[in-house]
Amino acid sequence: MMSKGVVRKFSLCMVVLLCLSGCWDSSDIENIGFAIGFGIDPGDDEQAPIQLTTQVASTKKQGGQAATAQQGKLFQNITLKGNSMQDILRSLALQLPYPVFTDHLETIVINEDTASDYDLFILLDQMLRDNVTRSSPAVLLTKQTAGDVLDVNIEGEITSRYINNFFENESSTMKILPQKRLGEVTANLIAGTSVILPSVTKGKNTVRLDGAGVIRAKDNKLAGFLTDNEVEGINWLSGNGEGGLLNYKDEKGNTIIYEIQHYKAKPKPHYQNGKLSFDVQITAQGWITEDWSLTSNNLSENYIAKLERLAGDEVVKIMEGTMEKLQQDFKTDVVQFYDSFRIAYPRDYQKMKKDWDTYFANADVQYDVEIKIVNTGDLVKEGRLK
């Protein structure tokens, strides 16, 4: 009969062996496919109205090295057509000898024709219901074929991930919108508010962000696109940007570059006798990082005041151009003015929110911009010969 000490040692050894045995239900990563991106385009007939391109990261190995899927690519794109997203995704089993999981999905690119013809809620429905797909993928639009955008081969990159990484550059330019994740887009759709989505375009062996598309709340369909400069206006109006540059001219037409360190946007609503208006107050702080004038005294208070005034005028011009497009062409509030109105006039907003975009389109908007230059550099060019 074994002693208690021997029994304890034996039991301990068994526990250690169980811990070292690994996961009983593990799968070799080489036998799994990870969907990194989706490209949604229109199909070519009524029986298959949707074309889905699934970008799968390459996990196979050959000779001990990670293999590219095709001709130097780090991914494989599979394009299928059908009348439902779920059916198309299950049809991947007919072309790939291993299961494809969507829990690492990073980017969803939607073609403009598809976004114009279909309610965005319908296009995203399968991903929202799926208990594997996360709410973090970035949602973007494109004027081109979404599958072609994802098929761009950038050396050493997976296109979907490359696109997603653009949003790390928000602080560098006001022409990049904050990333719109699947969960955030869904929240807008549920709340019945219009939403703006970044747009992406492809070139030769490259892709780039290119303006944005507006999804109107009335039918959750694409209303149209904004340019890079109009996206800059969106960021000024909404206050959602993280900084960047303001490029403007002095009174003699010389280029001035103002680096935005901090800025705030505060739309103040007014509602009286059925008339809606907003006073948009902008405050910004930054410094001059480039000045093309041949003669200037960067230390002169008068010179700094003049640059501040001209910078403010430029910001107003940018915002007015963007607001004209939103109110007259698209009739959609994607700068979240509804939020300030909801806080100031909660009861009125409950009555108006169903037709908020119409009220927004008819609102009068005034601007008050205060630009502060806290640093002009130590270069003084006063008296320089022309």
**Token couple for 322:** 């963007």
Tens of pLDDT, residue by residue over 45-76, are 889 999 999 999 977 544 444 444 455 689 99
In the prediction, which pLDDT does 375 show?
Answer: 87
Confidence check: pLDDT of 385 > 50: no
In the prediction, which pLDDT does 79 show?
Answer: 97
Sign of the alpha-carbon dihedral angle for 271, 274, 275, 280: positive
Check residues 186 and 379 and name the one with the higher pLDDT. Answer: 186
CA distances from residue 267 to 77, 324, 364 in whole angstroms, order as listed? 45, 16, 12
Tens of pLDDT, residue by residue over 230-275, are 999 999 999 999 999 999 999 999 999 999 999 999 999 999 999 9
Domain 227-386 has CATH 3.40.1440.60: no
Confidence check: pLDDT of 302 > 60: yes
User: How would residue 384 be classed by pLDDT, with cut points 50, 70 and 90?
Assistant: very low
- Closest by Cα among 178, 198, 162 to 36: 162
Sign of the alpha-carbon dihedral angle for 161, 167, 172, 177: positive
- Residues near 74 by beta carbon (within 8 Å), at least 6 away in sequence: 57, 58, 68, 156, 157, 158
- Closest by Cα among 43, 34, 35, 40 to 53: 40
User: How would residue 99 be classed by pLDDT, with cut points 50, 70 and 90?
Assistant: confident
Confidence check: pLDDT of 29 > 70: no
Whether the Cβ atoms of residue 245 and residue 259 lie closer than 8 Å to each other: yes
Tens of pLDDT, residue by residue over 220-229, are 999 999 999 9
Q: What is the mean pLDDT of residues 23-40?
A: 72
In the prediction, which pLDDT does 262 show?
Answer: 94
DSSP 357-378: HHHHHT-EEEEEEEEEEEE--S
Tens of pLDDT, residue by residue over 332-357, are 999 999 999 999 999 999 999 999 99
Rg (CA), the chain: 27
Confidence check: pLDDT of 31 > 90: no
Q: DSSP assignment, residue 181?
A: B
Confidence check: pLDDT of 162 > 70: yes
In the prediction, which pLDDT does 33 show?
Answer: 84
CA distance 54 to 78: 5
CA distance 80 to 115: 18
In the prediction, which pLDDT does 247 show?
Answer: 97
The helix-helix angle for 120-129 and 182-191 (nearest 10°) equals 120
In the prediction, which pLDDT does 143 show?
Answer: 98
In the prediction, which pLDDT does 378 show?
Answer: 57
